[in-house]
Structure 1
Amino acid sequence: MKGPLLLLLTVWLYTQYGDCAALSSCSYPPSKWCSSLEAAVQCGVLKECLLSNFTKSHQKVDTVEVGLYYESLCPGCRQFLSLMLFPTWVMLGDIMDVKLVPYGNAQTCLLHMTGAAFPVIFCMESSGDVIKMAKNCMEVYAPDLKWESLMGCVNGDQGMQLMHQNALATQGLKPPHEYVPWVTINGEHTDELQDKAMDSLYTLVCSMYKGPKIPACGQSQKAYKSYCNKE
């Protein structure tokens, strides 16, 4: 049982049994108190579990979506993806989602065929030869995906359909895209957002995130000092 139905049932149970839940004998270890409705009621922590789940759901809703519309062989696109977007995602993956819309059959098929597409694409884009490194990158980051299967997509109707979908998504951008890489933040593009993303995507994502503060976006990063220029 998931979603709104579970939430409604949880609220109902709390209104019915919340006062007496603490009197029940709890046979679950603390790590399992929120593992089920029965455990939460028996251990008298239904309200706390409900609040915890509510907070987690809002943290997911509040994530910052960074969209990148790009050409897989474009030097500027490769630089932004490998030196800015991927490192930021590694550090801030808990508060950001990445939407990649590439012009290039191989990467489009990768996004469709494996959940590990972003690391594979980063590996390709940061290499000396995007196309030649595709197979090696797949073997490292997506070993369960067979090269033959990917090539079947790339060279077949499915790859063409996926590319067509990306073309429609790109053509539907408002304002229309004028160059690549074209960055959107939560589906929006402005010159200011583009400039901030190109200058420091990390800072931009932290500033756009409206959820609970996380250490990676806290004050500690401002205390960083460089001693490289000290004599």
Structure 2
Amino acid sequence: MKLPGLLPGFLLLCTSLGSSEGSHPKPACRYPPSQWCRSLEIAIACNVQKQCMELNATRPSRAVPPVSVTLYYEILCPGCRGFISQQLFPTWTMLQDIMTVTLVPYGNAKELPSVNSPFTCQHGEPECRGNMIEACIIHLTGHSAFQIIYCMESAANVLNAAQPCLQLYAPSVSWARVSSCVTGDLGNQLMHANAVMTRALSPTHTHVPWVTFYGEYTEDNEDKAMSSLFSLVCQLYKGVKPPACNGAPVRLNRSFC
């Protein structure tokens, strides 16, 4: 499912209302630093209006479209987990102003004509459940979804990490809502949508992680993404490169399922 609109780190213009009392957030701030400039209300609550204004002044022009990255994956695939934790999330953390990320948890699963067990997964029933949990989290938590998914995928046990990661990054969304989504019709609908998106890939995916840029897949871009996604995003962006793009690339080993 696509992380709706807010995932690419869209920092709303924060207008200073009154004077800022230092650079440190007030104790009442209940938001992680990654969310401080998400809205004017959060910026005021965390006493960072001035910093948000300065950050917005240095952001790339929205006249140039961001690099669109879509990841097709399954939650228990070691290669997918490594790509999310070592490549995709760190790259997004540094370059979220010039890239958007869409996560599609499904991978090598199969959709079956069965009411009781509509999906089968490469790594068994726990992966099918985990795929649905992440699909529900993406649907319910909006701009916090990617942080939650990263928290889960980088943990020792992906499924056991789901609830504490949700509480950490989206405390306003109860675990009961996620459980209701997973056990109800909504979870199946979300997974069916992911199945449709995955089956519609051209060329058909042969492994995961499967990464597309602007909706298209090429082996060349895959090779570059698996070794240094950061460098590839900087290369693909057509606007003025952000300062972070001047750093040296770090190449990592690739792994597939």
The TM-score normalised by the length of structure 1 is: 0.70
Question: 1:213: how far off?
Answer: 2.2
Question: In structure 2, what residue type is equivalent to 1:100?
Answer: L
Over 3 Å counting, the alpha-carbon distance change for 1:223 and 1:113 in structure 2 is closer
Question: 1:108 pairs with 129, 135, 139, which one?
Answer: 135
Higher helix fraction: Structure 1 or Structure 2?
1
Residues 109-135 of structure 1 deviation map (CA, whole Å, 9 limit, x = unaligned): 011101211000000000000001100
Q: Relative CO higher for 1 or 2, CA cutoff 8 Å, sep ≥ 6?
A: 2
Distance 1:223 1:195 in 2: 14
Question: In structure 2, what residue type is equivalent to 1:105?
Answer: M
Question: In structure 2, what residue type is equivalent to 1:88?
Answer: T
What SS is found at the alignment partner of 2:160?
Answer: coil
Distance 1:89 1:223 in 2: 15
2:78 equivalent in structure 1: 75
Distance 1:170 1:56 in 2: 32
Residues 52-84 of structure 1 deviation map (CA, whole Å, 9 limit, x = unaligned): 9xx83313xx20011100001111100100111
Distance 2:133 2:165 in 1: 12
Deviates more, 1:209-218 or 1:105-114: 209-218
Query: Does residue 237 of structure 2 align to residue 209 of structure 1?
Result: yes
Distance 2:249 2:222 in 1: 26
Query: For structure 2, which runs of at least 5 residues remain unmatched after alignment?
Result: 1-15, 18-56, 107-130, 251-257
Question: 1:222: how far off?
Answer: 4.3
Deviates more, 1:120-129 or 1:208-217: 208-217
Distance 2:210 2:249 in 1: 32
Distance 1:122 1:213 in 2: 26
Distance 1:196 1:141 in 2: 31
Question: In structure 1, what residue type is equivalent to 2:78?
Answer: P
2:62 equivalent in structure 1: 57
Query: Does residue 223 of structure 2 align to residue 199 of structure 1?
Result: no
Distance 1:214 1:138 in 2: 31
Question: In structure 1, what residue type is equivalent to 2:219?
Answer: D
- 5 Å-filtered alignment, 1:166-205, equals 166-205=194-233
2:193 equivalent in structure 1: 165
Question: In structure 1, what residue type is equivalent to 2:188?
Answer: M
Distance 1:81 1:58 in 2: 28
Distance 1:159 1:98 in 2: 21
Distance 1:84 1:112 in 2: 23
- 5 Å-filtered alignment, 1:14-163, equals 56-59=61-64, 62-103=65-106, 104-115=131-142, 116-163=144-191
Distance 2:62 2:236 in 1: 18
Larger CA Rg, structure 1 vs 2:
1
Distance 1:129 1:189 in 2: 30
Distance 2:89 2:249 in 1: 24
CA contact (8 A) 2:231 2:249 kept: no
Over 3 Å counting, the alpha-carbon distance change for 1:85 and 1:223 in structure 2 is closer
Distance 2:151 2:248 in 1: 30
What SS is found at the alignment partner of 2:146?
Answer: helix
Question: 1:95: how far off?
Answer: 0.3
